[in-house]
Structure 1
Amino acid sequence: MGSGVVQKQSAHRETSDDCRSCLECSRDNGCVRCPERLFLFLQRDGMSHHGTCLHACPAGHYGQRGKDVNRCMKCRSADCEHCFSRDFCTKCKPSFHLYKGKCLSHCPPGTFAHHTDCFDNCLLAPLGEWSDWSTCLREGATCGFRWGKQTRTRGSLTSDRTSEEKPESLCPLHSETQRCRMKKKCPTGFYS
């Protein structure tokens, strides 16, 4: 009879270790109810679920706060490592690019890959200063016409990049073109 008491105590101790962070616990299913700020994370264990109370949900899950219980819910995409909601990913698994909450194997046309994300434009990188305006030209000549065109460009700053990495790999150059006044008469001997 004395040995039966010892077994009950050890069984109770095992259960209490398993239920350390729970408000309510079941021997078979682990945590059933969590303290207010914690999230209930259910893991499939054969045919049943085993609950754990966590401060933050694990990879592939997001925290959904509810009136009675806060739960860890699974991200819909298997390629998503962290998500804000079921369908909005915030970090993709390696070899995938994040674009507008989705994980893609390639960035869509018109976007630029940068680290693990796809960007629509260069707002992510501070732009450098504009270059000087180019020489005023028309059909390759600097004179002989009333109006010509000149351009200037600026690219993203490359201070945090290695010298062999081209800024174009991140963003195209921004350029501006404007009309400019040319010398109508070319100097004597210009065409010789």
Structure 2
Amino acid sequence: MQLQLISFVLIILNCMDYTGCQQHSSSRHRQHKQISGVSSGCQQGGCLTCSDYNGCLSCKPRFFMHLERIGMKQIGVCMTSCPPGFYGTRSPERNTCTKCRSECDSCFNKNFCTRCRPGFYLHLGKCQETCPEGLVRSDTQRECVPKCPADCESCVNSETCTRCWPGLYQLSGRCYHVCPEDYEPCDKLMQCTLQVHCEVGEWSEWSPCSRSGRTCGFKRGQETRTRQVLQYPSPFGKPCPEISEVKQCLVKRRRCPGGRRQNGRRNRNNRKDKENQEARRERKRDRERERDAGEREESDNRNKTEHRHRRGHDSEPLSHEDSLVVQ
């Protein structure tokens, strides 16, 4: 009886060992099948080996392994660069993405932040809740920035402005109500720009003495000279001086070539002009005389007609009653 009991126990133990070995063998075979099967055709291009449950298990060279949390589990993802809030570390065995410090929104490594989370301000790679003395917090940049001068809206440091308050003009990192000497305001850029003064060239030689476009036939005339504008001035720059000059001149009177002939032709033309003008005036007077004569004749005719009418009225015979009265 005892021998049968011992034999039964041995049989049961052998069966348990066999079952455990079979299950272990099956598990190892299934895992090996998943890894070896997926490594030859992973869905993500950066994966070297992967599984259906855990995602990427290893990455190709130059890719970073990043663990993304989905619910209660983490999935491996291979990326060319780490996402915001993580920084990459490289090693011969594996490139991984490591999470930044809790106050960092992005970082270069675990000790150097490049941007802070809301409520913290960056200064020298550290995210702090308060800024050192001489610096103020910038909520837009999330940084500790220098305290700007009173005229500055934004600045690089306590002496260099990058933008002035409205109505002020910027020049070399400072803000002005009135631009310094040799500078003028530019309302379009709200900056002080350098004044540009007018520049002119050298005077030309004096022209020959002339009068009414002629250089002969006179004694008193004029000479002129000019110069070019090389640089026109800015609105507040020095204006340009005169660019032309005229002076009186005296010359020895000399006759123009062909002067007598020209003078004779000019005199003849003048006489013809005078004759033509006189003829036109005479024709005009004739027309006026003819018009006056016509008007007088028409007036005489009207007077004669009225006289005849009046005379005919006076010669009408008297009636019988009128004759008795007359007697």
TM-score per shorter chain, which class?
Answer: 0.5 to 0.7
Which residue pairs with 2:130 in the alignment?
106
- Structure 1 residues 103-182: aligned runs within 5 Å: 103-114=127-138, 115-119=141-145, 125=156, 155-158=159-162, 160-163=163-166
Shift of 1:49: 2.4
* More RCO (CA 8 Å, sep 6+): 1
**Where is the strand percentage greater, Structure 1 or Structure 2?**
1
- Matched letter for residue 71 of structure 1: T
> 1:161 and 1:30, CA in 2 relative to 1: closer, same or farther beyond 3 A?
farther
Percent of aligned pairs sharing the same letter: 38
User: Partners in 1 of 2:86 and 2:42 — Cα distance?
Assistant: 25
- Matched letter for residue 113 of structure 1: R
Contact 2:146 2:156 in 1 (8 A): no
Shift of 1:64: 0.6
Which residue pairs with 1:89 in the alignment?
113
Contact 1:89 1:98 in 2 (8 A): yes
Q: Which secondary structure state, in structure 2, belongs to the residue aligned with residue 157 of structure 1?
A: strand
**Where is the helix percentage greater, Structure 1 or Structure 2?**
2
Root-mean-square deviation (CA, aligned residues, Å) is 3.4
- Matched letter for residue 94 of structure 1: P
Contact 1:19 1:30 in 2 (8 A): no
Aligned length: 124
Higher-Rg structure is 2
User: Partners in 2 of 1:61 and 1:92 — Cα distance?
Assistant: 13
Shift of 1:98: 0.5
> 1:22 and 1:109, CA in 2 relative to 1: closer, same or farther beyond 3 A?
same
> 1:67 and 1:162, CA in 2 relative to 1: closer, same or farther beyond 3 A?
farther
Which residue pairs with 2:91 in the alignment?
66
Which residue pairs with 2:224 in the alignment?
none
User: Partners in 1 of 2:106 and 2:98 — Cα distance?
Assistant: 11
Q: Moved runs in structure 1, 4+ residues, more than 6 A?
A: none
Question: TM-score normalized by structure 2?
Answer: 0.33
Shift of 1:125: 2.4
Which residue pairs with 2:151 in the alignment?
none
> 1:164 and 1:32, CA in 2 relative to 1: closer, same or farther beyond 3 A?
farther
User: Partners in 2 of 1:164 and 1:87 — Cα distance?
Assistant: 43
Shift of 1:32: 1.2
Question: Is 1:38 the equivalent of 2:63?
Answer: yes
Shift of 1:36: 1.1
Q: Which runs of 5+ in 2 are unaligned?
A: 1-36, 149-154, 171-327
Question: TM-score normalized by structure 1?
Answer: 0.52
Contact 1:29 1:49 in 2 (8 A): yes
Contact 1:19 1:25 in 2 (8 A): no
- Matched letter for residue 65 of structure 1: R
- Matched letter for residue 157 of structure 1: C
